[in-house]
Amino acid sequence: MRKSAPRPGIWRGSKTVAPAPVDDPHERENFVTTVETAEKPAITPVELGGTRGGPDVPTLRSDNWWIQPLVSAVILTAFVVYSTWAAFVNKNYFVGGAMHRDLISPFYSPCLAASCVPGSHPSTVISWWTISPALLILIVPLGFRLTCYYYRRTYYRSFWLSPPNCGVADAHGSYSGETRFPLVLQNIHRWFFYLGLILNVILTIDAIEAFREPGLGIGVSVGTLVLCVNAALLWLYSISCHSCRHLCGGQLKSFSDHPIRYKFWKLLSPLNANHMKFAWASLVFVALADLYVRLVASGTITDYKLF
């Protein structure tokens, strides 16, 4: 039986592997070995002499790389301006029994100063604090977000241009990392994380109390849903934090020796992958929650009861 025609040589990496030799002289005449050669890719010369050893041009990117840091800067600036105003205005942060509601702004909870409006503060208050009680509270969420790994990347790019984006030259001529003051204070992030968990518990209690309708009983209003969603987003932002994931599974040589911590670590890892989304969603919604309570307390809008 006549053998089938042999296959040409096969290209593998940098050499050609030929099939086994053919003994039949007639078949040998039909044997052809094909050698393929790979063309070298074109190399774009880059002159090193720019900022910190980079090219002389700021970037070789041709897309709209500046949109992301610009949008981030606008949102963060808007939040800082609004939250600063809300913290110092010191009014319309609580909707109480006169409106058959129990709603408090997350910017003012817990309200610890003696100047807090009746019904908005616990039994123990700080009598010597005379300015806005929000300033006692906002230091914790501010410190937590300011030292957050994701927010650090965001405002480093948006405000300090260090660097503005991937593949874009740094605007600074030197780099010292986070080893000098004030950036060395970023290392206290996990302590703000612990304090933030306490605030999350308090805001969760506020969301539960929002089901109370003094003089009417128990019910659900739009304000109830607003405070519940706000608490849920803050919890998602907190437990998706890198510090929380490290707390569960960090510094372990073997997961098999710590099965419970491994389960928590495995549970939190998918949330950690979406930490950026939770960071933005919780930031925007906490401001919206304050705005909603403020509008209801001032009589601008009505907190409609759903059921």
* Mean pLDDT to the nearest integer, 49-62: 66
Q: What is the DSSP string of the chain?
A: -PPPPPPPPEEETTEEEPPPP--SHHHHHH-------PPPPP-----B-SGGG-BSSSB---S-TTHHHHHHHHHHHHHHHHHHHHHHH--S-EE-GGGT--EE-TTS-S--BTTSPTTSS-S--BTT--S-THHHHTHHHHHHHHT-HHHHHHHHHHTS-SSSSTTB--SSS---TTSSTTGGGGGGHHHHHHHHHHHHHHHHHHHHHTTEETTTEE--BHHHHHHHHHHHHHHHHHHTSHHHHHHHHTT-S-GGG-HHHHHHHHHHHHHHHTHHHHHHHHHHHHHHHHHHHHHHHTTSS---B--
pLDDT above 80: residue 93? yes
What are the tens digits of pLDDT across the range 170-206? Answer: 887 777 778 888 888 888 998 999 999 999 999 999 9
Give domain limits for the chain: 64-297
What are the tens digits of pLDDT across the range 76-91? Answer: 999 999 999 999 999 9
Banded model confidence at residue 254, pLDDT cuts 50, 70, 90: confident
What are the tens digits of pLDDT across the range 115-158? Answer: 888 888 777 688 888 889 999 889 999 999 999 999 999 999 99
The rounded mean pLDDT for the chain is: 84
Supply the pLDDT for residue 249: 85
Banded model confidence at residue 293, pLDDT cuts 50, 70, 90: very high
Supply the pLDDT for residue 5: 52
